[in-house]
Amino acid sequence: MVTVKLKTILLGISAAVMVAVLSVSVWFTGAYAVYYGNTPRLVPIYCVEREEKVVSITFDCAWGTEYTDALLTALKRSEVRATFFMVEFWTEKYPEFVQKIHESGCEIGTHSSTHSYMSKLNAADIKAELSSSAGAIEKITGEKVDLFRAPYGDYDDELIKTASESGFYTVQWDVDSLDWKDLSASDIAMRVVNGVKNGSIILMHNNGLHTAEAVPIILETLKNRGYTFLPVGELIYRENYVIDGTGMQKQAK
C-alpha cells in the first residue's frame, strides 16, 4: 500500500514537472502565441477582427509605374480607396504619381527609405529610414504618414518597437496575391478572393505585370459577395487594442 501511494506521488510530481517544462518551452518558442492568444514577441498587424465584411487592398511601390495609371482607373471606377506603401527612392523618382495617388483619395504609407532588411538595422538607423521616407511623402502630399510596411515582410521586436515609438503602425497582410511572380490575372484574382475574410489586408504591388488586370475582377467579385473596402488607416483600431499571436488586431476588452 505504501509502495503504491509512493508511486502515485512520484507520478504526480513527474507530471507537474513535465507541465512546467512544457509551459516554459512553449513560452520561449513562441508556441504560447498559438495556444493562448498571447505572445512573448512583438508582431505587426496582419489583419483586423471585424464583424462586418470589410477589407483593405494595399499596393507596395518600389519599382516602376507602367501599370499604375490603369490601377488607379480601376480603383476609381469601383469607388475604392486603397493604401499605397511607398519606398523613398520610388517617391523621389515619381513625385507625379505620388500626387496622383494622393489626389485619387487613396492613402499613403511608408515602405522604408532603402527597401532593406530592416531587422538587421539598429534603432537609430530604423528611425532614420522611417523619418526620411515619411518626410519625402509628406513633402509632396502635405499629409502626415503614420503607416509602415516593412520590406520583404521582415521584422523583429526592435523594428516594431522603434516604429511604434516613432508614431507608426506596422502593417503586414494576411492575403498575399503573389502578383510579383507574374501570375495571370485570373490566378491572382483567385488567390485573393478565396483567401479573404472579414478584416483582411490584401497585399499587391503597383507595378505587377498583371495586377491592374486582376484588380477589377477582385473588386467586383468581393463587392458581389458583400464586402466593402477601406484604407488600412480606417480598418485598424488606433487605440485600446491588442494584437494576438496570429497578428490579428482586436479591440481591448
| Cell numbers describing residue 191 | 488567390
Catalytic residue among 111, 115, 179, 205: 205
Q: Which residues pair with 170 in a beta bridge?
A: 148
Residues 102-146: pLDDT tens digits?
999 999 999 999 999 999 999 999 999 999 999 999 999 999 999
| Assessment of whether the complete model's pTM goes beyond 0.75 | yes
Annotation marks residue 60 as catalytic: yes
Q: Which residues pair with 88 in a beta bridge?
A: none
**What is the rounded CA–CA span in Å between residue 44 and residue 53?**
22
Catalytic residue among 60, 111, 115, 174: 60
Annotation marks residue 205 as catalytic: yes
Residues 45-73: pLDDT tens digits?
999 999 999 999 999 999 999 999 999 99
Question: One-letter amino acid identity for 60?
Answer: D
**What is the rounded CA–CA span in Å between residue 116 and residue 93?**
18
172: helix, strand or coil: coil
